[in-house]
Amino acid sequence: MNSIPLDEHLIRREPYYHASGEEIPLAVAAWKAGMPLLLKGPTGCGKTRFMQYLAWKLARPLITVSCHDDLSTSDLVGRYLIRAGEAVWSDGPLTMAVRAGAICYLDEVVEARKDTTVVIHPLADDRRELPIEKLGELLIAPDSFMLAVSYNPGYQSILKDLKPSTRQRFIGLSFDYPAPEQEAEIVVQEGGVAAEIAHTLVKLALMTRSLKDSGLVEGASTRLLIQAGKLMIAGISSRTACTVAITAPLTDDPELTGAIDEMIFSLF
Amino acid sequence: MNPEQLKQYFYDLVHPDLPNEWEVEEVMEPLLDLDPAVRSAVLEQVQVIWPVSNSLCYSYLHQAIPALACIKAETLGRWASEALEIYERSGLKDAQQFMINVQSHFACRMDGQGQRFKEIAGRMEPYLRGLARRDLRLESSKTVFTDTRTVFLPEELSLFQGEGKNFLLYKLTTSFQWAFIALDTFLVTAEPNEINPSAKGKLWLHEYLAATEFPSLLATLYFLFETVRARGFLERELPGLMRDSSRLFASLDKKSPCKSGVERIVSQTRNLISGQLTEDESIEDEQIRTLLHSKAVALDSLRLAEQISHQADEGWESIVQEEPLFFQGRMELTRVEAARMVLRREQEAGFVEALATFFLSLPTAGNDTTDEEAETEDGAKGVSEADAALLFEEQSSEGKKEESSKSPDFTRLENELELSEELQELAEEIKNDLGQVPDQYISAAMGKAGQAQAGMGTPESDDGSGSSAPVTYDEWDYRRAGFRRNWCVVTEKQLEPIQSNFIRDTLEQYKGLRIRLRRQFEMMQTRERFVRRQRDGDEIDLDALVESLADTAAGFPPSDRLFIRLKRDERDIAVMFLVDMSNSTRGWVGTAIKQSLILLSEAMETLGDRYGIYGFSGMRRLRCELFPIKGLDEPYNDEVRTRISSIAPREYTRMAPALRHIISIMKKVDAGVRLIITLSDGKPEDYDNYNGEYAIEDTRHALIEARMAGIHPFCITIDQHAHEYMPRYGEVNYIFINDVAKLPARIPEIYRVLTS
Ligand SMILES: Nc1ncnc2c1ncn2[C@@H]1O[C@H](COP(=O)(O)OP(=O)(O)O)[C@@H](O)[C@H]1O
Ligand SMILES: [Mg+2]
């Protein structure tokens, strides 16, 4: 079989990650114990970044799969391809990760259909195995392999809620937006803006996050703040940057749009 | 038209009413000379106003001709509808006044200059909540002020030409009022000092001021200095706003000619607040400027106010009488105090409830033994009542012991009994307010717990017409982690149909929303997607084909799923809406719920999902009532519409048995996805001491039963306190809607998000 070195998936430079609690030692311990991870938290609060950091720290390649409802089992496990008239097997990302003892991260796992996610069940429990029917092979994951999935438990379609039988195999890590000071620092680091602007952006984020009862499904995420910051660095005025990078992605409701824009005009 | 015809015309308009002839003649006579087109414009409004108030209608007819001197005939409708709004809000007198002052109250605004509260509230309320990061409200009122829970703004603003500036003034005012709340301007407490040596302990501002020599002067100065502090605060927190507002400040407050003494200080301070005192311009008392800094606190303003009030001379009364700066508004300490009392009562009620529940959760011989079924189930479980009494006794004697030494310290109680986190938090809040948890709170809780230990309600028969055979359901008792068997009796009853214009009015009122919802729901319905790997279809799935060729080459049987098909998503969904018809929904909540049901049904019709609606209420466990409004497969027809408009508040909110009944219905339904969506306005409760933890846990359990039956439950509530108990229903299973007015738009939206 092909054992492509997973060099390209190895993270060589330490990613910038600002820990907000015990998540790093916990995840390392889970990895040592061969247990899979379940990251939950709102979008853009650092789950993906955390996985990158973890992969770097453990010196394991990181293979990320963004899940969507068209994802099939072969997309994960692998399939035969025809090359020069011959059938050649090609590993899918999950198989690749198992063989290489890498970390496989299924982002937004609830987006995938249930019949797709069943393949991870035997990998997630203490069997740690991946059957590949077409090859007639049963892969046993090496100790260094880790499975991680993420999902956003917020306001989302219950039709996509995670099945308990899937959930119960995982170690859960809850992510939330960082504390204001930390978040501002992240925005400085990632968005490149001055500390003062970062603080103002975080203030704006906090304001929007308190609008859940007024009908806003989710407040501004760290990612949105960083994007607004980057636009400012690129020379866009702060008000415009915030309107396009924060208000617009958050809501279409005219009154909430108005309210958030007024917050922006007040702050900047 | 001759006088007789005109009179008859009027009678036709107000039919079947038969007003006094002489009154009609009196108002009709002046209309005779009007241009016929104008006259019919005037008379057009009669049908609008008459049914609401006959007197107002006469006033309108009296005022119409003078009004036509400054407004056009086309604007009469708007004028009349504003008058009606005022009538409904503040009564006949104000509405009449509004009509008399057509020039100043209405006409000048019609030139498109003014901005109305109604037009800005939708934007400004979330803005305020965002700033404060808590649930403040915005309301209209004659003057500007805040009681620290609600910010009051004027009905309309027309100080400037063009909407932009008037809106900005609304926004600036909202922000200043928020600043006062954030800075604790009205909630400052002061130690007694030489001004007020008699009192003991800290004083609230209004108590403190009341005991001084010139309370109104001191209050005026204090509030003025606090406004300086608020300005400094806003400059730091909302620099953008302050920059934008500089063009307003200049026009709001004119520099007054130099005066002397305290008056001079006041006018300088006002200039400082409205940004018309430059950095280098001197101010009589430089301490005032220091209030702009972040370190300044409310007590600094108070001390400074005291100091300066001592210098006051005869001129002081004019200082007090001077209008406050517009955005500053008034300091309404009695309203603040009232709001504080409301908060205190809410805290007390919450605490007593929580503590009572806590007492009940202690191992005791349950109340359940009064009922036969329970007796056998409960048996000798639990501790004797004597034990419980002993526990309470210990409790109170301890209280007394401490009282004699120091003030009773609630932490003792916390340690002794390991109170829940919720209870500890409540106790903490109360201690912040009152310094300690009053004994009567604890005794009230004990009393309440004791009452709950008394028996449940007595059987009651009600075999009104149109009821189905009663069905019994178990009820979950969390204290014993088991069911009370056959505890509740559920009957399906028919609603008494009421004829009204409700449907028509709702459809009219929400015309725009309806169109929007219809479009959104149509989009859900026609959602199409390509499905790959089908046995047949319109196109070849190249990926699948290649794979199957490869499989063949590798010696595997090739798959025959080689096509792509455009598939319209089968929405195999059945949903049941369960609507709270308890007494607390009386008024606008109930109306909003009914409007939501109509808009939802209209939208659902475009979608084709199967849906049903049931209302529920009742009193006591033996009379839980469910009112079928629309069966799952019943068409949405006039009968259903009439039933929706006949929904009316009834009795209590025992949701769990209703849920169980719906679950039993839904269990038999064959659908890919089954949903139960509940709509209520408060905690579950019933007359027979069904409340608190017990009721919440029972409801929670019923929701779990739904899930166990493969049915997705989802709860929508309009209860302010939902956050205290709904999370226990499971975080993704509920949503709280703050703004009742938004309900008709939100409920269809929630349904859309839930099922797509
Ligand atoms: N704790 C953190 N440390 C460093 N960067 C962070 C952190 N949280 C968020 N970010 C920034 O926010 C962006 C979005 O985070 P991401 O990990 O993609 O969110 P998620 O995967 O949770 O949706 C990242 O690209 C990173 O720039
Ligand atoms: Mg109720």
Query: Model confidence at B302, in pLDDT bands (50, 70, 90)?
Result: very high
Q: At CA B276, angle to CA B143 and CA B331, rounded to 5? A: 25
Which ligand is closest in space to the CA of residue B678?
A: 2
User: Kind of pairing, strands B673-680 and B573-580?
Assistant: parallel
What are residue B397's phi and psi, to 5 degrees? -65, -35
More confident residue, B580 or B388: B580
Q: Does A268 sit in the ligand 1 pocket, CB within 6 Å? A: no
Closest to B385 in 3D by CA, of B362, B402, B406: B362
Contacting B residues, span 135-154, partner chain A, CB-CB under 8 Å: 135
Q: Which of B129, B238, B552 is nearest residue A266 as measured by Cβ atoms?
A: B238
What number is the average pLDDT over the span B242-263?
77
ipTM value, please give it: 0.87
Q: Is the CB of A45 under 6 A from ligand 1?
A: yes
DSSP B194-224: TTS-S--S-EEHHHHHHTSSSHHHHHHHHHH
pLDDT band, very low/low/confident/very high, at B197 (cuts 50, 70, 90): low
Place of tokens 């509004």: B98
Domain ranges of chain B: 3-111, 335-455, 529-568, 573-755
Q: Which of B748, B618, B590, B600 is nearest to B681 (CA)?
A: B590
Ligand nearest to the CA of A17: 1
Name which residue sits closest to atom 6 of ligand 1, judged by CA.
A46
Q: pLDDT tens digit string along B616-664?
A: 998 888 889 999 999 998 999 989 999 999 998 888 889 999 999 999 9
Query: Would you place residue B382 in the very low, low, confident or very high pLDDT band (cuts 50, 70, 90)?
Result: very low
pLDDT 10s per residue in chain A (268 long)?
Answer: 444 456 788 888 999 999 988 999 999 999 999 999 999 888 888 999 999 999 999 999 999 999 987 788 888 999 887 777 777 888 999 999 999 999 999 998 877 877 788 888 889 888 899 999 888 899 999 999 999 999 887 645 555 566 677 777 788 898 989 999 999 999 999 999 999 999 999 999 999 998 876 778 789 999 999 999 999 999 999 999 999 999 999 988 888 999 999 999 999 9
**Could you tell me the maximum CA-CA distance found in chain B, to the nearest angstrom?**
109
Count of alpha carbons within 13 angstroms of residue B585, beta-carbon side: 27
Distances A27 to A170, A171, A174, B5 between C-alpha atoms, Å? 11, 9, 12, 89
Q: What is the CATH number of domain A6-174?
A: 3.40.50.300
pLDDT at B320: 87
Task: State residue B660's pLDDT score.
Answer: 95
**pLDDT range class, residue B512, cuts 50, 70, 90:** confident
B171: nearest CA in chain A?
A262
- d(CA B420, nearest CA chain A) in Å: 23
Contact B732 A158 (CB under 8 A): yes
Q: Of A86, A207, A255, which has the smallest distance from its Cβ to B130's Cβ?
A: A207
Question: Would you list the domain boundaries of chain A?
Answer: 6-174, 180-267
Distance of CA A238 to the CA centre of its chain: 28
- Asked if A225 contacts A183 with a C-beta cutoff of 8 angstroms, the reply is yes
Which residues in chain B are closer than 8 Å to A160, comparing Cβ atoms? none
Going by C-alpha positions, the residue among B281, B272, B275 that lies closest to residue B241 is B275
Angle at which helices A195-209 and A222-233 pack, to 10 degrees? 140
Distance in angstroms (rounded) separating the CA atoms of residues B117 and B381: 61
pLDDT at B383: 33
If you average pLDDT over residues B727-754, what whole number do you get? 79
From A49, A111, A187, mutation site for ligand 1 pocket: most ligand atoms within 8 A of C-beta: A49
Percent composition of chain A: helix, strand, coil (DSSP 3-state, to 5): 50, 15, 35
Tally of CB atoms within 10 A around A10: 15
Q: Which amino acid is at A239?
A: R
- Beta-strand pair A137-140/A129-132: antiparallel
Partner residues linked to A90 by β-bridges:
A79
Distances (CA, A) of A174 to A104, A117, A151, A159: 19, 21, 10, 22
Which residue from A138, A256, A248 is spatially nearest to B124, judged by alpha carbons?
A256
Evaluate if residue B412 carries a pLDDT over 50: no
Cα B52 to Cα B45: distance, rounded to the nearest angstrom: 12
CA distances from B112 to B106, B109, B116, B161, B169 (A): 11, 6, 11, 9, 16
β-sheet with B137-141: strand ranges across: B137-141, B150-154, B145-146
Is the bond preceding residue B16 a cis peptide, omega within 30 degrees? yes
Selecting from A86, A159, A268 the residue whose C-beta is nearest the C-beta of B755 gives A159
Q: Number of A:B CB contacts under 8 A?
A: 127
B551/A80 CB distance under 8 A: yes
B122–chain A Cβ distance below 8 A for any pair:
yes
pLDDT band at B285 (very low <50, low <70, confident <90, very high): confident
How confident is the model over B367-381, as pLDDT tens digits? 443 444 333 333 333
Cα distance between residue B219 and residue B306, in whole Å: 9
Architecture of domain B573-755: 3-Layer(aba) Sandwich (3.40)
